[in-house]
Amino acid sequence: MFADRAKIFIKSGKGGDGHVSFRRELYVPAGGPDGGDGGKGGDIIFEVDPGLNTLADFRHIRKYVAKDGQPGEKKRCHGANASSLVIKVPEGTVVKDFETGKVIADMSGENRREIILRGGKGGLGNMNFATATMQAPKYAQPGQPGHELWVQLELKVIADVGLVGFPNVGKSTLLSRVSNARPKIANYHFTTLDPHLGVVDLDGNAGFVMADIPGLIEGASEGVGLGHDFLRHIERTRVLIHVVDAAGTEGRNPAEDIRTIHMELEKYNPDLLKRPMVIAANKMDAVYAEDEDPSEQLRREFEPEGIPVYPISAVSGQGVKKLLYGVYEKLQTVSRDPVIFQKEFEIEYAGDRNLPYTVERNEDGAFVVEGPRIEKMLGYTNLDSEKGFQFFQKFLKENGILDDLEAAGIQEGDTVRMYGLAFDYYK
């Protein structure tokens, strides 16, 4: 079965301990401290491997622990830094904190390699603690501990176009006809379990990647059946093709099916309904001549809503070319930037809360917040996204910055500036 989710344990390495020693050389009766520093612990790094397309490897190995740094040695020798542990994942893998479900990293787009857990810093040897009044310190600093975390890996397929619809409406047949994908096809009354990707080539070097999203059922947004497992693969697609059995060969009403799937998409993620959509009225070869054309019924109902209807037969190829070019035109109207899930969870290290910042009031009355802690936070936060801005607000509150602003006399409506970012303060 296609593996698109895994829970694993990761732990970065501990820093090596600093060393306590003193020079013991001939003709040096009172040698000073010469204990070296410990080495840094290994980082946990996630890296995209283009040769992978599932998370199957994580079924067998669920624990990933980086090595510890080596302790310092005498004669001011620095302990060796531990090598990083690199975990290879397929493109499209989203790394989440298991406890909260918040996004740590999205291994997509330009993000090919990211440090998820930093190794602990090595401790300082006693040579660093000698002073005029303490010339023979008998203590050294222990290495900082590594960090550990249970993370959830979720693979969300990356495709331009997603095929959605109830089971057995012909999605797999359509994908196999228009691309190089070869999903198993039969008259199943249950759904395909694996998402399949295929490249659709059109004339003039045009084309796109299409994904057969496993069939949805009513209640999928609540996790009924394998609902959440399937719905996550729709999130990156830019255009949706809703495939329906227009002939009603199994007694289903195509219009009702479309409304039901729309409802499930909206419950799961309302943004999905904002994406361009077309309807592929499939199995038209099974419609009898004397019957009313079901595609015309669908047109009357859905084209006023801006959803074009294309009558097709995935088996015979009837109308398929027109559908593909219609989808390609839709793709030209939406951004080609990949859908990236923004960071919502930041690993907090021992030194992060100690990074300084200042809150000052300018002559023009604006409050300026600056410092390494603020600069670091803004470096990994996308304030253009709703979740990113929520993370920003939470950071200001939990780190005491809002309290400091109030202590400095800020009032509602006053301006706050942070490294080129300006906003009005309201409780």
pLDDT by residue, tens only, the chain of 427 residues: 445 778 999 999 999 999 988 877 666 556 678 889 999 999 999 999 988 877 888 888 899 999 999 999 988 899 999 999 999 998 889 999 998 888 899 898 888 999 999 999 898 888 887 777 677 788 788 888 899 999 999 887 777 888 888 877 777 788 877 775 544 433 333 344 456 777 788 887 778 888 877 655 544 444 444 444 567 777 778 899 998 888 777 777 888 888 888 888 888 888 888 889 999 888 887 776 666 778 888 888 899 999 999 988 888 888 888 998 998 988 888 887 777 777 877 776 655 555 667 788 888 888 888 777 777 777 667 677 676 777 778 788 877 888 888 888 888 888 888 877 887 877 7
Which residue, among 208, 219, 205, 174, has the nearest Cα to 192 in the 3D structure? 174
Model pLDDT, residue 275: 87
Q: How far is CA 311 from CA 74, 283, 425, in A?
A: 80, 8, 55
State the pairing for strand pair 93-97/358-361. unpaired
What pLDDT, on a 0 to 100 scale, did the predictor assign at position 238? 87
How many Å apart are CA 20 and CA 347, to the nearest integer?
Answer: 32
Place of tokens 């004397």: 290
Interhelix angle for 320-331 vs 171-178, to 10°?
80
Cα 167 from Cα 187, distance rounded (Å): 10
Looking at residue 67, what is its pLDDT? 95
Gap between the Cα atoms of 229 and 214, Å rounded: 9
Rounded to whole angstroms, the Cα distance separating 225 from 232 reads: 14
Q: What residues have CB less than 8 Å from 384, skipping those under 6 apart?
A: none
Radius of gyration of the chain (CA): 29
Neighbours of 158 (CB within 10 A): 18
Contact status, residue 415 vs residue 424, Cβ threshold 8 Å = yes
Residue-level pLDDT at 224: 42
**In angstroms, rounded to a whole number, what is the distance separating the alpha carbons of residues 267 and 259?**
12
pLDDT at 227: 44
pLDDT value for 377: 74
